[in-house]
Amino acid sequence: MPPTARQWRRLRKDAEVARRLVGNLLAEVSAPPTDRLDASLSRTLKRLKAAFGLAGDLVVRPFRLGGPGERKAAVIYLDGMVDARVVHEDILNSLQKAGAEPGFVQTGVERPSGGLSQSGPLALPSPLAAGQVTSTSKLSKTVDAVLGGKVALLLDGHPRAWFIDAKGFKTRNPEAPTTEQDILGSKEGFVEDLRANTSMIRRRIKDRNLQLVEMTVGRKSRTRVTVIYLADVANPALVTAVLSRLHAIDAETVASANALAAYVKDHNWSPFPVAELTERPDVVAMEVLDGRVGILVENDPFAVLVPATFWDFFQAADDYNQGALGATLGRLVRFLAFFLSTFLPGLYTAFVMIHLDLVPFDLALSVAGSRQGVPFPAPLEYFFLIIMFEVMREVSIRIPKTMGATIGVVGGIVLGQAVVQAGVVSAPLIVVVALVALALFTTPHYQMTVMARMLSLISLAVGSALGVYGILLAAMAVIVHLASLTSFDVPYLAPAAPASRGFAVDTLTRAPLWSLRRRPYQYQPTDVRKRDDYRTPMPYPDLEEARS
């Protein structure tokens, strides 16, 4: 039975609806993607949910601004990244009462009912307007802001998103630095929260010229980075170089400060560190005042200081919290310990294997007697002991702290005594390894400690093969290599090479603080003078006039 006219009209209507639906779908698929938000709240939420994909922690809370009958709105955030109490009590409650309460910051045209105009921009309640509120009309920036821990506010009829800072994820409280301990200095260290770290610098440098430039690096990680410098002290060429290298980073993720330093520092092939890492805010503040640039990385308790010279890695925070003589003695001990940890293994093997005739007779007789029955040559003995020491060091780092003392007793005393009694190694070599291990821990910065361990193995190889002459050649090669390094175009051995008249003022030694009137010239600061001579002599009173 053929369809009736009414049925034909219904079929044609259904076909027309289907044709329009297919056309709209094809238009959405074939249309070029746009980064702008839509004025329709439903379409904007749909695009945002598609952008986040299968994000189980994504929270979308629709509501009405000003209560029933007012404009539709929604907030979107990630659960666990924001403070839920702030979102519900401070943001949602304030916005839901926006049409009934006075005291609003209005940028558009206000309606008689106290709500918002259809065409004007958003009027925020005064509690929100007093906080950190930003806005954008781009979808990508909205997604990045939500991923960064902000609450996005969307309003129907306005193709914009407003971001409210309500971060509430758990962070670690500031504690004493674990890698750079001191006695007289500050006991506050950086944490993984970037804003808490910048506040530590702000508390130490209350100057309007302190600049904090924020940017994002890493295509996937979107890690926030803050560059810190003094605008009236730091060299503009240095600041430009740091910012340009950070902008040029093209990596999926930048997970730590050390990884960031690998992208911006000079001479990545060199084993010597040319960018300094520190977890002390007082050190960063002091170095920024001298004209250096600090870089803070989100989710990392370490800061990067550039440029860095060879002498910077032997300076501790305690050097500026005690007298000049004590600080100078400490620095000289560190340089001597670095020399011992680097060249003592090579010198020992060189004198035992090649230059035994240069050793005093009694000492040579004692060493030869201790080596009787040892089946291995001195280089293999040292290599065996250093491997054992490195294993114990790794174990002490990885195991729980409550077991660290036990591992130290078992490894350092029981195992060391056992290998000597078993005749595997000689007793003098135990003393050499112990001295090298103790000397390594005197270096304030772990980066230079790693370099000293590598150089000790090199000196062991050349000392056992070529004797003292090989060690001298290796030392000359290291000095030539150091002289060829730069850190942001600053010579690595400056101010020793190129030579400066005030080289020893604050490198090998530390002069009294009142005499340090100029900033280090190797950083090329724009303002060289730190302070004037304020030490005027106190007049001696006349005793006769005082009695009268």
- Sequence length of the chain is 548
Mean pLDDT of 277-305: 92
Cβ-count burial 142-168 (b if 16+ within 10 Å, e if not): bbebbebbbbbbbbbbbebbbbbbbee
Please give the pLDDT value at position 226.
Answer: 93
pTM of the model: 0.75
Mean pLDDT of 43-65: 84
Cβ-count burial 61-92 (b if 16+ within 10 Å, e if not): eeebbbeeebbebbbbbbeebbbeebbeebbb
Task: Examine the pLDDT at 349 and tell me if it is beyond 50.
Answer: yes
Indicate the range of 120-129, 289-298, 418-427, 518-527 predicted with least confidence.
120-129
Please give the pLDDT value at position 105.
Answer: 45
Amino acid at 169: F
Residue % of the chain over a pLDDT of 70: 77
DSSP 101-169: SS-EE-SSPBPTTSSB-SSS-PPEEHHHHTS-EEEESBHHHHHHHHHTTEEEEEETT---EEEEE-B--
Give the confidence band of 91 by pLDDT, cuts at 50, 70, 90: confident
Give the confidence band of 116 by pLDDT, cuts at 50, 70, 90: very low
Give the span between the Cα atoms of 292 and 17, in whole angstroms: 68
Give the span between the Cα atoms of 484 and 495, in whole angstroms: 14
Give the span between the Cα atoms of 72 and 515, in whole angstroms: 67
What is the bridge-based pairing of β-strands 150-155 and 161-165?
antiparallel
Residue % of the chain over a pLDDT of 90: 18
Of 240, 247, 248, 242, nearest in space to 305 by CA: 242
Q: At what angle do helices 378-398 and 427-440 cross, to 10 degrees?
A: 40
Please give the pLDDT value at position 195.
Answer: 85
Mean pLDDT of 295-311: 92
Mean pLDDT of 191-197: 87
Tell me the per-residue pLDDT of 225-252, one tens digit each, with 9 for 90 and over. Answer: 999 999 989 999 999 999 999 998 888 8
Give the confidence band of 413 by pLDDT, cuts at 50, 70, 90: low
Give the span between the Cα atoms of 470 and 460, in whole angstroms: 10
Task: Examine the pLDDT at 291 and tell me if it is beyond 50.
Answer: yes
Give the span between the Cα atoms of 429 and 450, in whole angstroms: 21
Mean pLDDT of 296-302: 91
Please give the pLDDT value at position 101.
Answer: 41
The pLDDT mean for the chain works out to 79
More confident residue, 361 or 42: 42
A 10 A CB-CB count for 507 gives 23
Tell me the per-residue pLDDT of 129-163, one tens digit each, with 9 for 90 and over. Answer: 445 677 888 888 888 888 888 888 888 888 888 88
Tell me the per-residue pLDDT of 8-51, one tens digit each, with 9 for 90 and over. Answer: 666 666 666 666 666 655 554 444 457 788 888 888 888 888 88
Please give the pLDDT value at position 106.
Answer: 43
Place of tokens 């379409």: 43
More confident residue, 198 or 368: 198
Torsion of CA 316, 319, 322, 323, to 10 degrees: 160
Half-sphere exposure of 260 (CA within 13 A, CB side): 34
